[in-house]
Amino acid sequence: MIMMGLKFTGQAPFPHVYLHSLVRTSEGAKMSKSKGTGIDPLTINAKYGTDAIRFTLASIAAPGTDVVLSEDRMQSGRAFANKIWNAMRFVFFNLEKAEGTGLTLQELASPKARAGAPYAMDGKLALEDAWIFSRLAGVTLQINEALENYRFHEAANIIYHFFWGEICDWYIEWIKPRLTDATAARATIAWKNLFAVLEAALRLLHPFMPFLTEELWHKLPQPADARSIALDTFPEVQPSWTNPAAEAEMALLQSVIGAARNLRAESKVDAKEKLEADFFSTDNSIFQVVRENCDAIQRLAGLAVLRLATSRFDATGGAIRTTAQFDLRVIRNSHDNSPSETSIGADAERARLGKEIDRLSKDVESKRARLADAQFRSRAPAAVVAGVEATLAERRTELEKVSVRLSEIGRH
């Protein structure tokens, strides 16, 4: 083809060629029609969906490695497609309720409204909005770079984690109360920011799931001459959205919520049971961020109350998660006077802390040995060495605090 193009047109028919790896079965055999190890694409497309198969193939097509296509991976692609569809269905379902208050889809999601995002209330951008737009800027940069360098698997996995993990699991859950806020201005801002993020995410996702994104994109208001999402501009990086401070604060809040959820799971407390929690940190800035977001933490962590302790609490009466930044104690509802119900078992907590000490000790030793390696220090970039040193310091702090907790429990 290239030679014919050069002979008859004087130029190559295409400037770049991408060669993918072999596609293998889950057992490792090369997929071959003659060997009978191939699969009928029409059959799997009908079973899992064309977009799901396309996304799955892209997400596992790392250069230099064979593509192992299995049922589990195709099911994962279908689950992601369902997640996207259900997220948009949830948004439109709740918008119908909001339309009863006078809000309209055209007002909230028009191209002009999306172009003006992010929107602030009284001149201040909400933390969750600052965070999601900062993440959108970072994700857009990463995906553009990955696509330009033919790292399709990186781009696919980046948009997967952004849409499922950050938009669905965190952002939408975080702003739910704002979408139905009695103050019309607050609700309007929340809806406009949400639609701007979702529409940009659909365009980022389009190369991997063209049919699903095309359908959902047309459900949003578009210009009169708009024909297809494929003809719209691909999202460009917005440096002004980058906000490291908002990302750091949200990461802190996510770790607090995650700690409470993990303690509930480890203590085998029913998911419907509301727990109480105590929070303490010696860092005033951390303390202030948690104070300002208490309501969201309580709602997303399933807590009846979150008390901000002004001094370090003892290790009794509940399960404690200790990090380098904060201490969190979770207890059962103190209104019930039964000892077995007001505390989470001390024996179970000792066992958990013992495992935590073992994990932290191994991590500390691993990083200490790495830093003691003269070859690593001489060859690794300074930023990498500094990162390992910072992580080691954090793990040592955590190990010290967890050890103190365990000794306190042992004295009771």
Q: What's the whole-number average pLDDT of the chain? A: 88
Instruction: Assign 234 to helix, strand or coil.
Output: coil
Closest CA to 361 of 333, 389, 399, 401: 399
Q: Where are the alpha helices (DSSP H) in 99-224?
A: 105-109, 111-115, 127-148, 152-160, 173-179, 184-205, 210-217
Q: Which two tokens stand for residue 211?
A: 């049919």
Distance in angstroms (rounded) separating the CA atoms of residues 87 and 90 = 5
Q: How far is CA 298 from CA 72, 261, 295, in A?
A: 35, 11, 5
The residues with which 275 forms a beta bridge, in sequence order, are 303
24-51: pLDDT as tens digits:
888 888 888 778 877 888 898 999 999 9
For residue 337, pLDDT over 50 is answered with no
Nearest alpha carbon to residue 85 among 254, 219, 252, 248: 219
Q: Determine what percent of the chain is predicted with pLDDT higher than 90.
A: 54
CB 154 within 8 A of CB 144: no
pLDDT at 328: 92
Task: Please state the pTM of the whole predicted model.
Answer: 0.82
The tens digit of pLDDT for each residue in 170-219 reads 999 999 999 999 889 999 999 999 999 999 999 999 999 999 999 999 99
The token pair that represents 210 in the structure block: 């063209």
Domains of the chain in start order, with CATH, are 2-71 (no CATH), 75-245 (1.10.730.10), 248-341 (3.30.2320), 345-412 (1.10.287.380)
**Torsion sign over Cα 189, 193, 196, 198:** negative
Question: Who contacts 121 (Cβ-Cβ below 8 Å, separation ≥6)?
Answer: 185, 186, 189
pLDDT digits (tens, 9 = 90+) for 45-104: 999 999 999 999 999 988 888 888 888 899 999 999 999 999 999 999 999 888 888 899
More confident residue, 313 or 304: 304
The tokens 């007001």 sit on which residue?
342
Is the pLDDT reported for residue 411 higher than 60?
Answer: no
| pLDDT tens digits, 161-183 | 999 999 999 999 999 999 999 88
Please tell me the predicted confidence (pLDDT) of residue 412: 53
Which residue in this structure is represented by tokens 């959108």?
A: 136
Q: What is the pLDDT, as a whole number, of residue 322? A: 84
How far separated are the first and last CA of the chain, in Å rounded?
80
What's the rounded mean pLDDT across residues 354-366?
Answer: 88
Which residues pair with residue 330 across a beta bridge?
A: 277, 319
- Contact by Cβ (8 Å): 97, 191: no
Write a three-state SS string for 206-240. CCCCHHHHHHHHCCCCCCCCCCCHHHCCCCCCCHH
- Contact 328/278 with Cβ under 8 angstroms? yes
- The answer to whether 261 and 301 have CB atoms below 8 angstroms apart is yes
| pLDDT for residue 353 | 78
pLDDT tens digits along 275-287: 899 999 999 999 9
| Rg of the chain (C-alpha set) | 26
Query: 72's torsion region: left (phi>0), alpha (psi -120 to 50) or beta?
Result: alpha
